[in-house]
Amino acid sequence: MSALHEMSLNDLSALIRRGEVSATEVTDAHIDRCAAMDGTAALVTPTFKQARETAQALDRELAQGLSRGPLHGLPLGLKDAIDVQDVPTRLCGRFTPDRDAATWQALRLAGMVSLSKLHCAEYCLGAPGAKDALPFAKNPHDPARTPGASSSGSAVALATGMVPAALGTDTGGSIRIPAAFCGVTGLKPTNGLLSRAGLFPLAPSLDQVGPMARDSRDCALLLDGLVGGADRYAAALSGGLQGLRIGHAPQFGRDAGAAEDQSAAVTTALEVLRALGAEIREVTLPPLQRFTECFLPIMLSEAYGLHEQAIAEDRLMSPNTRIRLEGGIGITPEAVSDAKTAQRALSAAMAELFTMVDALVFEAVPGDPPRIEAMHPLDYLKAPLLAVPANVTGAPSLAIRCGTSRAGLPIGLQILAARNRDATALRIGHAYESAVGHASAPVGFPPHPVGTRPAMPGKDKT
């Protein structure tokens, strides 16, 4: 049997249900893995003592014949932007919530165990910089490169086996970009599918909470728990792809200047999907720049409007975050109105397209993760953004791994479905992963020399 930290959420669930391992054993295995991987800086507020106590209580329930369902006793990590009662939020407003976020409450009631709050970009906006509020999570595939943002800690913790599942948030790609850069899986659900209550806001009309894991099957299991426990998304994975119409949007990759190896990997993935019975159609979409020009005024104006006071008063705010938030200063009400008009038009165009195809496939990111030393706080303003069509239109979008670049780094595939067709995106992702023998085992991270590893913060305390 594989080590517990290497196993998928579904496999761990089966072991617990059969009584082959306890929730406490699974929790302890992941706490040990967190200690071994502490150099990643993925954890910001570990809650290991609470996690052990919760796992023990859940084991007592199982001993009494009580099961909360397939998530019973399974650990996860939560992006720092997601409220956990009495656990400090350190990167998104710096406060201690007095109640749980609705999404965490749903998973807690389903029997999950929170191991830690996870690193994210400060105020959920940005990427690594020289003067970050806390050390930025490190990409385990190449620490000199960004892990993606803002759900950086979620992706890194998954990729290194510190947690088998995580929650992230996505305003303009903040689940899918880290998933692609770290070689894991992340879903931005249909806008409004999950409650935003208890989520630190960046741009509320765009913000979404979503599941992250090491494969689509685990994301589906987690999403079922988030919507109340019905076997809705996991059950849909078995449908196969026969007759499914998948649109290929090569224009988006060209618009974003996607590297040759990224686009080649997408083409290869499409051939796999075709072999599974899907019908592949090349489609034409509005230019990616139109989605980007629509997204930026809405996001930046909402972010500045919400956090103008914090820009003035939060002395701990890093210079990079301040620069990014101040990008909304000059955006006029007329510009926002024009952007929302464009948003309605783009959403209508996408809805029309989804009468002809069931999903769209294109690159998740244009290339390898940038080197941190070469990054600028406003890099996201430079080019058309591959992630934002899903945010602008409210559509579900899944990022999965579909290859390895010439530099030896993960390549991501983006699967975008019609609104409320999250199950379709997950079904395609799962079919692809099953066909190629997707290995969801975690990667390592350069360890401390034997005998010199420091104690893990919070190892023996809340």
**Looking at the domain assignment, is residue 459 inside a domain?**
no
Q: Is the pLDDT reported for residue 438 higher than 90?
A: no
Res 454: pLDDT: 36
Q: Is the pLDDT reported for residue 192 higher than 90?
A: yes
Q: Is the pLDDT reported for residue 240 higher than 90?
A: no
23, 52, 98, 384, 435 from 87: Cα distances, Å: 22, 16, 9, 37, 41
Percent of the residues in the chain that have a pLDDT greater than 70, as a whole number: 96
List, by residue number, the catalytic residues. Answer: 79, 150, 174
User: Could you give the CA distance from residue 294 to residue 4 in angstroms, rounded to a whole number?
Assistant: 45
Q: Which of 135, 153, 136, 122 shows the shortest CA–CA distance to 311? A: 122
The CATH code of the domain that includes 225 is 3.90.1300.10
Q: What is the DSSP letter of 435?
A: H
User: Could you give the CA distance from residue 422 to residue 176 in angstroms, rounded to a whole number?
Assistant: 14
Q: Is the pLDDT reported for residue 461 higher than 70?
A: no
User: Could you give the CA distance from residue 178 to residue 182 in angstroms, rounded to a whole number?
Assistant: 6
Kindly state the tokens that stand for 393: 């239109």
Percent of the residues in the chain that have a pLDDT greater than 90, as a whole number: 88
As a whole number of Å, the CA-based R_g of the chain is 21
Query: Which stretch of DSSP H or E encloses residue 46?
Result: strand 43-46
Res 447: pLDDT: 34
Kindly state the tokens that stand for 61: 């329930």
**Looking at the domain assignment, is residue 457 inside a domain?**
no
Residue with the larger pLDDT of the pair 462 and 37? 37
Per-residue pLDDT tens digits for 349-388: 999 999 999 999 999 999 999 999 988 878 777 789 999 9
Q: Is the pLDDT reported for residue 127 higher than 60?
A: yes
**Looking at the domain assignment, is residue 290 inside a domain?**
yes
Res 89: pLDDT: 97
**Looking at the domain assignment, is residue 462 inside a domain?**
no
Place of tokens 């999250």: 422
The mean pLDDT value for 337-344 works out to 98
Q: Is the pLDDT reported for residue 15 higher than 60?
A: yes
At 130, the pLDDT band (50, 70, 90 cuts) reads low
Please tell me the total count of domains within the chain: 1
**Looking at the domain assignment, is residue 441 inside a domain?**
no
Q: What is the mean pLDDT of the chain?
A: 94
Place of tokens 């991270």: 445
Q: What SS3 class is residue 288? A: helix
Check residue 124 and give left, alpha or beta (phi > 0: left; psi -120 to 50: alpha). left
CB under 8 Å to 184, separation ≥6 — which residues? Answer: 155, 158, 159, 178, 212, 213, 214, 401
- Helices in 48-149 by DSSP H: which ranges? 48-63, 102-109
Q: Is the pLDDT reported for residue 456 higher than 70?
A: no
Res 229: pLDDT: 78
Per-residue pLDDT tens digits for 62-118: 999 999 999 999 999 999 999 999 999 999 989 999 999 999 999 999 999 999 999
Domain that holds residue 95: 4-436
Res 275: pLDDT: 97
Res 247: pLDDT: 98
**Looking at the domain assignment, is residue 309 inside a domain?**
yes
Cα 201 from chain centre: 16
Q: Which of 215, 120, 116 shows the shortest CA–CA distance to 159? A: 215
**Looking at the domain assignment, is residue 259 inside a domain?**
yes
Q: Quote the pTM value.
A: 0.95
Res 128: pLDDT: 80
Residue with the larger pLDDT of the pair 396 and 315? 396
Q: What SS3 class is residue 397? A: strand
**Looking at the domain assignment, is residue 171 inside a domain?**
yes
